[in-house]
Amino acid sequence: MLELRIDRSFTSEDINSLYMSKGYSSYEGRLDALYDAAVSSDHIVTAWDGAKMVGVIRSSGDMEFTQYIADLIVHPEYKSMGLASNLMSAYIDEVSAVEEIYLMIDSTSKNSFTKNWLVYKGFESLAETDKKIIYIMRKDINEG
């Protein structure tokens, strides 16, 4: 059974293994810096299958008005199991007092499911280029 955690009880090996699980990482060659960045994130939710980290979502910002999601990573063996959705839901609950959440993804055709999924989760497209799409989730924290 998968477990979600909102803490920083992971090692550099845990997070590096997850990021390298798809065979490459944009952090390759800087994995020590990745660990430092992850533990320094304002908010982080991790997913575990026993002792194996299989997912993470993390963000940084000003803690009150804005957060920028740096990464949402799911181990390839755990794709299409609803893990990304569970991570995002736990993250949204964790940042419930933050007014705006930003996320940037590649604007490739293979991301069509992701684009629809983000809208389903409450994000809207803010800007798009031929390479990237920026999404925003705006929350009225003064709602009932």
- How confident is the model over 1-49, as pLDDT tens digits? 899 999 999 999 999 999 999 887 777 788 889 999 999 999 999 999 9
Q: What is the CATH number of domain 2-138?
A: 3.40.630.30
> Where do the domains of the chain lie?
2-138
Which pTM value belongs to this model?
0.89
- Tens-place pLDDT, residues 95-125: 999 999 999 988 775 667 788 889 999 999 9
Q: What is the DSSP letter of 27?
A: T
Whole-angstrom distance, CA of residue 32 vs CA of residue 16: 8
Is the per-residue pLDDT at 142 higher than 70? no
Question: Mean pLDDT throughout 127-132?
Answer: 90
User: Is the CB of residue 105 less than 8 Å from the CB of residue 73?
Assistant: no
Question: Which residues have CB under 8 Å from 131's CB, separation 6+?
Answer: 106, 107
Tokens of 27: 């952090």
